[in-house]
Amino acid sequence: MGAIGVIGAGKIGGSLLTRLADSKKFSLTVADIHIDHLARYEKYGGIKTTTSNRELAEASDLVIIAVKPWDVTKVLDEISPTLENSNKAVASVAAGIPISTMEKHAPPGAAVLRVMPNVCASVGLGSAVVTANEAGQKTLPLLMEIFGHVGQVMELPERLFDAATALHGSGPAYVALFADSLIQAGVREGIPRDVARKLVIGTIEGTAELLKDRSAHQVRDEVMTPGGTTAAAFVAMERARFTGAVYDGVSAATEQARELGS
Ligand SMILES: NC(=O)c1ccc[n+]([C@@H]2O[C@H](COP(=O)([O-])OP(=O)(O)OC[C@H]3O[C@@H](n4cnc5c(N)ncnc54)[C@H](OP(=O)(O)O)[C@@H]3O)[C@@H](O)[C@H]2O)c1
């Protein structure tokens, strides 16, 4: 099962492909409807390119569909004949589209898997959760190995995929929003923009490192001197409903993922 095909040479498919190619462990094919999206992979050693999803599926043991959610069933209808009576498996990275919908667009008994990655995969620091239907269980270790090349991977029951999509799938955008707000706040206080940017990026990087072996509350308490500046900031931020806004955002994204699948 070393032949992997990725349909959709976009942000997620693309970041996966280059890292997998670097590992030299897989035979790789990528398909996209845009020839120009394939150009950068033609130069990349060991990646075959095609504009035919069907041709890609014929050449692959595992097909990873990395197109927008509303294009997934169309792609499945196209490649379904190649999955018939085969040992091939198909996985999707799309938000919201459940395995049950994918099964309706694949031959009976097909091995169907789901992954929810995030864009940090492009720098090898991605987070992904995976799950599979009964027939796809035997392909789960391979899927985990593949996404292990671009970050950490965990199994998660499918009923939690919409929440995971909202949490870590969209997560980099929330952190970027927070980073931007913090940079702006520094600029507002008179710190030069380039200095504020470096300070904020360093702070996020360092905090992520601290959080690896202590709780968020521990980190907070280490910084927060009673009666000090951080305590004053926390009161002001909570009055502006900071935590409530985060809960509301993740809840809205979860609901949106559910709607994509209905
Ligand atoms: N981006 C993220 O941070 C993120 C995180 C987690 C999960 N995801 C999931 O990953 C999937 C891909 O997202 P993305 O951001 O990587 O999308 P993207 O950058 O738009 O990449 C998708 C690529 O597939 C092409 N495509 C569309 N229809 C196709 C078809 N029928 N056959 C072959 N190629 C086709 C697209 O062309 P067009 O541009 O013409 O559509 C585009 O080049 C989505 O389902 C999303 O839910 C994304």
The residue among 120, 158, 118 whose CA lies nearest residue 136 is 158
Characterize the bridge pairing of strands 47-50 and 27-31.
Answer: parallel
Query: Ligand 1 pocket, 78 CB below 6 A?
Result: no
* Ligand 1 and 70: CB distance under 6 A: no
Asked if residue 2 has pLDDT above 90, the reply is: no
Q: What percent of the chain is predicted at pLDDT more than 70?
A: 100
Average pLDDT, the chain: 96
Asked if pLDDT for residue 228 goes beyond 90, the answer is yes
Top mutation candidate among 29, 33, 41, 105 for ligand 1, by most atoms within 8 Å of CB: 33
Task: Please check the confidence at residue 1 and state whether its pLDDT lies above 70.
Answer: no
Whether residue 11 has its Cβ less than 6 Å from ligand 1: yes
Question: Which domains are seen in the chain, by residue range?
Answer: 3-155 (3.40.50.720), 171-261 (1.10.3730.10)
Tell me which residue has its CA closest to atom 19 in ligand 1: 10
Rg of the chain on CA atoms, in Å: 21
| Ligand 1 site, residue 37, Cβ cutoff 6 A | yes
* Mean pLDDT within 212-226: 97
What residue owns the CA closest to ligand 1's atom 43? 10
Task: Provide mean pLDDT across the span 114-125.
Answer: 96
**Ligand 1 nearest-atom number relative to CA 172:** 3
User: From atom 4 of ligand 1, which residue's Cα is the shortest distance away?
Assistant: 118
Q: Which atom of ligand 1 is nearest to the CA of 51?
A: 33
Residue 52 pLDDT class (50, 70, 90 cuts)? very high
Residue 104: pLDDT band by 50, 70, 90 thresholds?
A: very high
Task: With a cut of 90, say whether residue 261 has pLDDT above it.
Answer: no
Could you tell me if the CB of 74 is within 6 A of ligand 1? yes
CA 245–ligand 1 middle distance (angstroms):
28
